[in-house]
Amino acid sequence: MIYDSRPCSLGEGPMWHPLRNQLFWFDILGQRMLSIERGQPRQWRFPEMVSAAGWVDRNMLLIAGERDLFLFDIETEEVQTLVELESGNRATRSNDGRADPLGGFWIGTMGKKAEPGAGAIYRYFRGELRQLFADITIPNAICFAPDGGFAHFADTATGRVMRVTLDAEGWPNAAPTVFLDLTAEGLNPDGAVIDADGVMWLAQWGAARVAAYDPAGKFLRAVSFDAPHTSCPAFGGADFTTLYCTTALQDMDDAARAKYPNAGMTFAAEHVAKGRAEYQVQP
């Protein structure tokens, strides 16, 4: 079903706030964050592109902007920069990101025109921003095992989702290995989240679906949505059994938009699986 009918040029970064029982998401190209609060649509506009968030407390979010990670007060709209993010490079922006089990925040960057290898993946933890992986074209699928033992990420341009083990402080301690290779199927891995049972729910750009893969990488099933460019899923709702999914109008011509009039909207599928609360950021 359609959760919110406001079309996004590039919907991304849905995050269910467990203290507010409220979904937040982004329209990257529209430079805005959206939500529904007490049944009413809300949005916040920013001077630059924004893409992902983690929750700090009831009113405070950590938001990934075009050139920095910053704290944002939902009610007062006050902004406090935490750390610059490739601020000297006006050719890049942030993309996919998610909080990790230890309260860190992983964020990917990419070229504004998806220039090959222009981006990277970083982790912000205890006041430090450290680059983890370089030469990334379109960073996506950042998500974490429930026990914090490993992380996933993808460079959509490669058609592969990677897996990397983490040490006790949440830093990668080995070379990444291939978890999913979707190249033979021609599928494009986008945003992802892992549910309470360790199953990955992976949005697949251009395929109008979110696909589920077990911890061994076996395909289980897919949930379809009425928009081709499914970009990122999130679990939420009172019992975390609702699967939300952002979508995008980007890369759709007039004929495609006429065929998919709901493209760019944000969707919800109920009683899909049991998710878990997003981890709290410890800035």
CA 130 – CA 69 distance, rounded (Å): 13
Q: Which of 20, 19, 24, 17 is nearest to 3 (CA)?
A: 24
CA 231 – CA 96 distance, rounded (Å): 10
Q: Which of 228, 221, 226 is nearest to 268 (CA)?
A: 226
Amino acid at 15: M
Amino acid at 28: I
Q: Are 278 and 16 in contact (CB under 8 A)?
A: yes
Candidate list 27, 96, 155, 190, residue with the active-site label = 190
Is 190 marked active-site?
yes
Q: What separation in angstroms does the CA of 252 have from each of 9, 10, 120, 170, 206?
A: 10, 11, 26, 38, 10
Residues 6+ positions from 46 with CB-CB distance below 8 Å: 31, 32, 33, 65
Q: Which residues are catalytic?
A: 190
